[in-house]
């Protein structure tokens, strides 16, 4: 099969990759992929609360890209793990928090393809000193159950978040070097799986969506942006196919779009597109919806999760998708002029496991989450 989105076969070694015509002359075309996702994922209409009259919303269900591998990260791993396997690696090292969807998907997929998973963790709560302190909920539980090796760093208050992430990436490289000197073949994956190969994966999803009527049915795409590989892949694919849509990237924690543009620039360079287009022309950064940051939620965000779920049955998570959803409906109400048209595609990037362990207080106080009658109270 030519492309991950054309095959129903799950992992069974690497398969040769045929890029779409509009991408085949780029530099750094992936040679192979491994099939990990349940794809193509569907696109359907969606009517969440808060969409003003005149707008229509569709939803791309990347939350259905798998069960344990659910979300946007599995697409990146299809190319990254193919690269690791081609290089004969036996070990994969990446970075995340205990809540990280990327770290969880990497660890689970590593076991599927036969690699030993190591995750460098930034402990946002500064609460882990020994293995028993690690949560038994959500993504952390799944990582523990597949036997992930954690290397834990407490969050420091004497350096910025970005600097600490850079420092940990440096430590990852040192650790990889040590393991190599012991005879291991090590593959390192940066935060969020966001390098040029990761962006390629999302160009491939763009191609999948073209086959699902993307250009006929939509004018704008809204997607969450953390390490921004997902948004960069979509933005470059949109450019290469004639810029028919406008790509909006809702920040999950960054307050300056410089990092988004820098990552786009790097991907464009690696693909041989330097000088053809300015990164600023490819994507609209949306930065007013970060709330209290990645690891904390506002009451409005937690309420929105219940409102969307109880009215549409689509799962929202507190760290990622609820922010991108609020960004989309917020801009529709406050800044309708930033949209190219009125037909908007929301990319649901997954994140379901983060719900488990975070929602107790909100669930206790929302009436729709407390609908119960004891059988003894029913009228005879």
Ligand X SMILES: Cc1ncc(COP(=O)(O)O)c(C=O)c1O
Q: Taking CB under 6 A as the rule, does residue 350 contact ligand X? A: yes
Active site residue 7: no
Peptide bond into 40 cis (omega under 30): yes
Site string for ligand X, 170-209 (x = CB under 6 A): ----------------------x-x---------------
> Shortest Cβ distance from residue 379 to ligand X (Å)?
45
> Shortest Cβ distance from residue 66 to ligand X (Å)?
13
Q: Taking CB under 6 A as the rule, does residue 117 contact ligand X? A: no
The size of the interface with ligand X (CB under 6 A), counted in residues, is 19
Give yes or no for a contact between 22 and 240, defined as CB atoms under 8 angstroms apart: yes
Sheet containing strand 246-251, edge to edge, reads: 43-45, 56-61, 343-348, 220-225, 246-251, 284-286
Q: Taking CB under 6 A as the rule, does residue 226 contact ligand X? A: yes
What residues numbered 265-324 form the site for ligand X, per CB under 6 A?
320-321
Q: How many helices (H) and strands (E) does the chain have?
A: 11, 12
Which stretch, 165-173, 226-234, 357-365, 366-374, contacts ligand X (CB under 6 A)? 226-234
> Can you tell me which of 228, 245, 268, 332 binds ligand X, judged by CB under 6 A?
228
Site string for ligand X, 56-95 (x = CB under 6 A): ---------------xx-----------------------
Active-site pick, 3, 100, 194, 297: 100
Q: Helix or strand or coil: residue 43? A: strand
Rounded to whole angstroms, the Cα distance separating 305 from 94 reads: 29
Give yes or no for a contact between 36 and 11, defined as CB atoms under 8 angstroms apart: yes
Q: Which two tokens stand for residue 255?
A: 């307050």
Q: Taking CB under 6 A as the rule, does residue 326 contact ligand X? A: no
Q: Taking CB under 6 A as the rule, does residue 139 contact ligand X? A: no
Give CA angle at 36 (31, 39), nearest 5°: 95
Give yes or no for a contact between 36 and 109, defined as CB atoms under 8 angstroms apart: yes
Rounded to whole angstroms, the Cα distance separating 374 from 124 reads: 41
Residues that bind ligand X (CB under 6 A): 71-72, 101-102, 192, 194, 224-231, 320-321, 349-351
Q: Which residues are catalytic?
A: 100
């Amino acid at each position: 099969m030519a492309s991950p989105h054309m095959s129903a076969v799950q992992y069974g070694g690497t398969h040769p990759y045929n890029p779409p015509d509009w991408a085949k002359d780029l530099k750094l075309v992936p040679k192979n992929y491994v099939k990990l996702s349940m794809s193509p994922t569907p696109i359907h209409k969606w009517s969440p609360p808060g969409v003003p009259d005149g707008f229509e919303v569709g939803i791309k269900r990347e939350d259905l890209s798998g069960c344990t591998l659910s979300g946007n990260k599995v697409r990146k791993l299809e190319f990254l793990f193919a690269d690791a396997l081609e290089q004969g690696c036996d070990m994969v090292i990446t970075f995340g928090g205990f809540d990280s969807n990327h770290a969880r998907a990497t660890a689970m997929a590593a076991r599927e393809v036969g690699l030993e998973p190591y995750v460098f963790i930034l402990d946002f709560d500064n609460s882990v000193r020994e293995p028993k302190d690690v949560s038994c909920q959500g993504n952390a539980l799944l990582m523990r159950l597949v036997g992930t090796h954690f290397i834990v760093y407490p969050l420091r208050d004497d350096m910025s978040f970005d600097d600490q992430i850079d420092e940990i990436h440096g430590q990852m490289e040192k650790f990889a070097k040590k393991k190599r000197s012991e005879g291991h073949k090590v593959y390192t994956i940066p935060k969020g799986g966001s390098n040029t190969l990761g962006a390629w994966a999302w160009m491939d999803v763009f191609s999948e969506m073209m086959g699902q009527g993307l250009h006929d049915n939509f004018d704008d795409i809204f997607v969450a942006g953390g390490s921004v590989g997902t948004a960069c892949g979509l933005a470059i694919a949109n450019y290469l196919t004639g810029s028919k849509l406008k790509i909006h990237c809702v920040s999950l924690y960054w307050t300056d779009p410089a990092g988004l543009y820098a990552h786009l620039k790097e991907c464009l360079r690696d693909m041989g597109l330097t000088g053809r287009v300015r990164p600023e022309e490819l994507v609209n950064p949306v930065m007013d919806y970060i709330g209290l940051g990645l690891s904390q939620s506002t009451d409005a965000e937690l309420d929105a999760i219940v409102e969307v779920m109880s009215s549409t049955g689509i799962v929202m998570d507190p760290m990622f998708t609820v922010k991108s959803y609020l960004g989309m409906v917020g801009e529709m109400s406050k800044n309708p002029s930033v949209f190219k048209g009125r037909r908007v595609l929301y990319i649901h990037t997954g994140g379901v496991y983060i719900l488990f362990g975070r929602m107790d207080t909100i669930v206790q106080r929302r009436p729709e989450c407390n609908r119960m009658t004891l059988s003894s109270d029913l009228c005879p």
